Amino acid sequence: MKPFALALSAPALLALAACGGNADDKAAENIEAMTENKADALEAQADNTSGAAEEQLEERADQVREAGEDAAERADDTDDARIENQVANTIAK
């Protein structure tokens, strides 16, 4: 009976391992937070400007948010936490 129970539990363990709690999940959360903070900072700058500069900053904030969402999804889908560092390096520029 024990081998049968072990055989049943192995797939369950693999399923649990694949559904969260991994470094890529934390990286995805960090990417979203990082890019949201950057976008908020750009919008704060936009609030202190006007005209074309304001529109450019707001557009850049939207781009940062969208890129962050895409990167977070990519990190989670590919199980690659290294994407967090790539995003951090890009945002620092």
pLDDT at 71: 95
Q: What is the pLDDT of residues 56-78, one digit of tens each?
A: 999 999 999 999 999 999 999 99
Q: What is the pLDDT of residues 30-49, one digit of tens each?
A: 999 999 999 999 999 999 99
- Compare 32 and 7 and report the one with higher pLDDT: 32
**Rounded Cα–Cα distance for residues 21 and 67 (Å):** 23
pLDDT at 9: 46
**Rounded Cα–Cα distance for residues 34 and 86 (Å):** 12
Residue boundaries of the structural domains of the chain: 21-92
**Rounded Cα–Cα distance for residues 23 and 60 (Å):** 29
Report the percentage of the chain scoring pLDDT > 70.
77
